[in-house]
């Protein structure tokens, strides 16, 4: 088993260049199958989910080259429309390819998508949206065959602003005849990045970032160059990490307008947060008492920062609570923080943080990406040494984690334990 060994108790101070956003890179790479000609994506995060998506694109017959943070994709000679099952299981984002493959090939073959086990994660909203454009689903041997040779633009109202469903329908709609309108669409900034890319390739999409997106189908899309937006969740993770250890941090490649929620509550707790174009400086001392947060779709409090916020509050907060409204299995990190001495309990959909505590280093296990990040934060804030097992979850979404933490003065090394 592989893990990180962390020596805590030192303030993290310094500068971090935030990487490209995982949750923008994945739908953008999926969208490249809509184009003919070469795409050059820069600022692509070096994470295992990107490696999985690259494998899928190659499996579909695209020519793909990956050199550090630059990925080029040419889908001109794509030959396949079905995603190999072993790749589907690796991550949820493979489901985005359904819409893109429908637009490109008129059909898509997918299996139930994988991803972090943070909840049931159904895809009914995706399916309903694709069906309303004329696609037909057929389940066979555990696979879903989606046929839609003649998709028609239509008006679709999502029952919930699902990020993935919004992106999937956007991609399918580029291949539909006529205009598609998505109402009650997700508003995440990653969706705006997707719109920017598709329009740069010759598409015509408007409204991303609002609750209503309009896609004009039938445009022939050519490859283009696109720099992926900074990862707001990674930025929030490092901001909590530094302040939680009593340090300070200068975040580069970070759009402050994407971080309004965490910045607002840290400022409210007395920390000094200075936002400038594409950078944030966070420092000072503060404490949060009697605060409550509820996760919600953007621009609400991001569920992807819930575990990291709980770890931060375990040390820097008192009598606070977080209500998780998006993923019902988001709480697995809590029992590991309790092992380290955190005064935390789970009550229904709520995490309740009592007194702030000095955490003690322990052996803990990551069970999903963001929970794993929270445990690394806890190890850096704790006294003594912490080991965080199952680094594979963390490598799905954090690029060059050890290097960035060491640059901030943190002590972290990866180890591999021989199986007995």
Q: Nearest residue by C-beta to ligand EPZ?
A: 164
CA dihedral 310, 314, 315, 316 (to 10 degrees): 60
Number of residues interacting with ligand EPZ: please give it, by CB under 6 A.
27
Our CB check for ligand EPZ shows the closer of 111 and 356 to be 111
- 163 counts as binding ligand EPZ under rule CB under 6 A: yes
- 306 near ligand EPZ, rule: CB under 6 A: no
* 22 is annotated as contributing to ligand binding: yes
Closest CB to ligand EPZ among 191 and 359? Answer: 191
d(CA 384, CA 210): 47
Contact between 71 and ligand EPZ by CB under 6 A: the answer reads no
55 marked ligand binding residue: no
* Nearest CA-CA partner of 333 in 390, 400, 401: 390
Q: Minimum CB separation from ligand EPZ for residue 390, in Å?
A: 15
CB of 292 to ligand EPZ, least distance (A): 20
Residue 290's contacts (CB-CB under 8 Å, 6 or more residues apart) are 318, 319, 320
**CA pseudo-torsion sign 23, 25, 26, 32:** positive
126 binds ligand EPZ (CB under 6 A): yes
Task: Based on DSSP, count helices (H) and strands (E) in the chain, helices before strands.
Answer: 14, 27
Q: Which is nearer to ligand EPZ, 356 or 391 (CB)?
A: 391
Please identify which residue in 304, 321, 336, 367 interacts with ligand EPZ, judged by CB under 6 A: 304
Which pair of tokens denotes residue 317? 């907060």
81, 116, 224, 320: the catalytic one is 116
Q: Which of 370, 376, 380, 401 binds ligand EPZ (CB under 6 A)?
A: 370
Q: Is 84 left (phi over 0), alpha (psi -120 to 50) or beta?
A: beta
Residues 57 and 39: beta-carbon distance below 8 Å:
no
Interactions with ligand EPZ, residue window 234-293 (CB under 6 A): none
Q: Is 140 annotated as a binding residue?
A: no
Tell me the window of 70-78, 158-166, 250-258, 306-314 that interacts with ligand EPZ (CB under 6 A).
158-166
Does the annotation mark 360 as catalytic? no
* Beta strands 179-183; 211-216: pairing state: antiparallel
Which residue is listed with tokens 């007194």?
355
HSE (side-chain half, CA atoms, 13 Å) at 330: 26
CA distance readout (Å), 408 to 96, 303, 403:
36, 26, 9
Which of 54, 62, 64, 92 is the binder for ligand EPZ (CB under 6 A)? 92
- HEC string for 233-258: HHHHHHHHHHHHCCCEEEEECCCHHH
Nearer to ligand EPZ, 7 or 400 (CB): 400
Contact status: 157 vs ligand EPZ (CB under 6 A): no
Residue 322 in the binding site for ligand EPZ (CB under 6 A): no
Q: Would you name the residues annotated as active-site residues?
A: 116
Binding-site residues: 22-23, 92, 304, 326
Contact residues: ligand EPZ, CB under 6 A: 22-23, 26, 92-93, 116, 119-126, 160, 162-165, 186, 303-304, 326-327, 369-370, 397
């Amino acid at each position: 088993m592989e893990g990180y060994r962390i020596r805590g108790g030192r303030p993290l101070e310094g500068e971090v260049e935030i990487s490209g956003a995982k949750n923008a890179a994945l739908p953008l790479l999926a969208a490249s199958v809509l184009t003919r000609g070469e795409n050059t994506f820069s600022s692509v995060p070096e994470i295992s989910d990107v490696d999985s998506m690259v494998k899928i694109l190659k499996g579909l017959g695209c020519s793909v080259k990956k050199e550090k943070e630059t990925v080029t994709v040419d889908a001109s000679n794509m030959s396949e429309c079905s995603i190999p099952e072993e790749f589907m299981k690796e991550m949820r984002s493979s489901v985005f390819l359904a819409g893109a493959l429908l637009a490109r090939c008129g059909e898509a073959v997918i299996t139930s998508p994988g991803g972090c086990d943070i909840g049931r994660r159904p895809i009914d909203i995706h399916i309903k949206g694709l069906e309303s454009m004329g696609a037909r689903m057929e389940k066979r041997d555990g696979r879903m065959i989606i046929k839609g040779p003649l998709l028609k633009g239509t008006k679709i109202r999502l029952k919930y602003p699902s990020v993935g469903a919004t992106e999937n329908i956007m991609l399918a709609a580029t291949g539909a005849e006529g205009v598609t309108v998505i109402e009650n669409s997700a508003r995440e900034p990653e969706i705006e990045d997707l719109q920017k890319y598709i329009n740069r390739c010759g598409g015509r999409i408007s409204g991303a970032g609002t609750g209503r997106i309009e896609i004009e189908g039938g445009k022939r899309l050519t490859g283009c160059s696109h720099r992926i937006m900074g990862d707001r969740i990674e930025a929030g993770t490092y901001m909590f990490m530094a302040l939680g250890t009593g340090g300070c941090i200068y975040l580069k490649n970070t759009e402050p307008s994407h971080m309004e929620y965490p910045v607002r509550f840290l400022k409210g707790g007395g920390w000094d947060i200075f936002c400038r174009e594409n950078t944030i400086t966070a420092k000072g001392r503060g404490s949060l008492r009697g605060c409550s947060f509820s996760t919600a779709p953007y621009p609400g409090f991001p569920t992807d920062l819930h575990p990291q916020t709980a770890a931060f509050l375990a040390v820097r907060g008192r009598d606070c609570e977080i209500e998780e409204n998006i993923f019902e299995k988001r709480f697995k990190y809590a029992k590991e923080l309790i092992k380290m001495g955190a005064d935390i309990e789970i009550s229904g959909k709520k995490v309740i943080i009592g007194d702030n505590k000095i955490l003690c280093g322990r052996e803990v296990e990551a069970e999903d990406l963001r929970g794993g990040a929270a445990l690394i934060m806890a190890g850096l804030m704790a006294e003594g040494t912490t080991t965080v097992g199952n680094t594979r979850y963390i490598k799905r979404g954090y690029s060059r984690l050890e290097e960035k933490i060491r640059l901030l003065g943190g002590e972290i090394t990866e180890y591999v334990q021989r199986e007995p």
